[in-house]
């Protein structure tokens, strides 16, 4: 299972939110590159980089932070937040993203994402599905929809997109454990997707349970920054 630390960026700084609430912001480091280099030094290979300013505004803002991390580390970076146009996705890849996560755009403009799948290939894109009570939320979690997570994943699986990050908003930043049942249900329904769990990871035990449930990867954020999981533990787990 892939271990994928997260760096969320607001105003160029490494932050974490609680349940996607921008008013509950905590700054952990002024320099995201410094954090990324710590991950790399610990033997971590992957990074989930989110432009929260971009997610809220509707276009990429923190692409310079992406460029610094991509050019100065060997981390495989998936980037999301504010990717809404052809220009945005080209900027993301130009400035070093290995993969781009399509969140709100996958709900609002299905045709654009289909075109990107054809242009860049399905392996270069990730469906970012942020979920509250099994309904998809968009625009930095500020807008709820009536679209179910199953319908969204099913639609894009038909288009050939197999990489899915599913964030359970109710658990995100709470350090109370992931929504295991949600991930089990998705994998029962869509056996071939590469499901990446996001939200609530608080311990190595959580990671072990996700791995036992055939989850492809796990994104870990606040648990690292609050010292619940050490980088040494993550390194040991990834090689276990």
Q: Active-site residues: which are they?
A: 8, 130
* 233: CB partners within 8 A, 6+ apart: 204
Rounded Cα gap, residues 194 and 17, in angstroms = 25
Long-range contacts of 58-63 (CB under 8 A, 24+ apart): 58/82, 58/84, 58/104, 58/139, 59/84, 59/85, 59/88, 60/88, 60/91, 60/92, 62/9, 62/12, 63/91, 63/92, 63/95
* Interstrand relation of 125-132 and 163-168 (parallel, antiparallel or unpaired): parallel
Rounded Cα gap, residues 211 and 204, in angstroms = 11
**How far lies 146's CA from each of 1, 124, 133, 137, 150, in Å?**
31, 27, 10, 9, 12
Diameter over CA atoms, the chain: 43
Residues 50 and 61 sit within 8 Å (Cβ to Cβ): no
204: which 2 tokens? 């190595």
How far is CA 90 from its chain centroid?
19
* Interstrand relation of 217-220 and 194-198 (parallel, antiparallel or unpaired): parallel
């Amino acid at each position: 299972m892939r271990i994928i630390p997260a760096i969320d960026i607001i105003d160029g700084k490494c932050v974490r939110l609680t349940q996607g609430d921008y008013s509950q912001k905590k700054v952990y480091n002024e320099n995201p590159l410094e954090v990324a280099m710590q991950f790399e030094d610990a033997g971590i290979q992957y990074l989930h980089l989110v432009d929260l300013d971009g997610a809220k505004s509707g276009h990429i803002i923190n692409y310079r932070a992406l460029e610094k991390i991509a050019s100065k580390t060997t981390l495989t970076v998936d980037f999301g937040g504010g990717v809404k146009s052809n220009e945005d996705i080209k900027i993301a890849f130009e400035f070093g993203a290995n993969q781009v996560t399509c969140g709100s755009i996958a709900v609002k403009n299905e045709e654009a994402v289909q075109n990107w799948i054809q242009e860049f290939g399905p392996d270069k894109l990730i469906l970012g599905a942020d979920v509250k009570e099994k309904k998809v939320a968009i625009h930095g979690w500020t807008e709820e929809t009536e679209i179910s997570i199953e319908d969204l994943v099913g639609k894009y699986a038909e288009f050939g997109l197999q990489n899915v990050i599913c964030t359970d908003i109710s658990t995100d930043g709470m350090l109370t454990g992931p929504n295991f049942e949600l991930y089990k249900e998705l994998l029962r329904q869509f056996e071939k997707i590469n499901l990446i769990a996001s939200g609530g990871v608080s311990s190595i035990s959580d990671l072990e349970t996700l791995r036992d449930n055939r989850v492809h990867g796990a994104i870990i954020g606040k648990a690292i920054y609050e010292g619940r999981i050490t980088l040494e533990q993550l390194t040991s787990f990834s090689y276990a």
